Structure 1
Amino acid sequence: MSENPQVKAILEHIETSERELADQAGQFRDRIEELSQRLGEIDAESENLRITRKTLLALPLPSPATEPERPGIPDHPAYQQILTALADEGRPMRARDLCQTLDLPILPKNTEGIRSKLKRLVSRGILIEPEPGLFTRPET
């Protein structure tokens, strides 16, 4: 190396600059590798979406939706008796009133049994409950 202090300082500066540039280049290469990998992932995801779109467009159109059938009246004869009593009375009734109409003793087990059946008929759309505990046919 040169004994000239000015040349020596310049050479040290060049070496330092070369190391800094090499470090920056390494960082850029790492970043390029990372971005290339991410780009590959995005391209694969985009291709999956394109295939999904193509598949969906190839599917036949669904038939028009039909309204689901409502379940009918349960088989137990008590349900028919309840509906008959409501039709005969022609007014909204409570479980206790129905027990009286059906000649059942006014006991909690009978009232709750009738109430449970009334709620099941409401859930099936056969009866409505215009206010809590009051049951009637929809057309009434």
Structure 2
Amino acid sequence: MTGGKLTLGAVPARLEERLEERLEEREREITAQAETMREQVAQLTAQLDELGRAAEKVWITRKTLLGLPDPGPPALPAPKLPDHLAYQQIMAVFSAADHPLRARQVCEAMDLAVAPNDINNVRLKLKRLADRGILTETESGWFTQPRP
């Protein structure tokens, strides 16, 4: 090389040197890109694993909830029985009975006199118990305990 001019023999050597530099530069770029991609793949793999664990937890929760028995409607509070002794005696009669009763039959079971006044008093108490939901009037004048 004289005076900054390239000789014909130096051109291929210079091209080869320049090509080698470009290839090394390109190789470094590709290596850097590959490393960046590997890091992204590692992050995405970690996210995918986390999502898989979360999906499994949701699946287990769903399976557990679907396996629970149906609770049904909420239970209403039991109606309060009046404090008077006659109501407790009436309920004892119905606890022993397996069919609906009339006021007259309740009087007989309670050993009361079968007088119209006594029958009417018992009938009023039976109606009061039916209004509170403690007894049920299945037909007019026929009373029984409600069945679950």
Q: Which has the larger radius of gyration?
A: 2
TM-score (norm. length: structure 2): 0.47
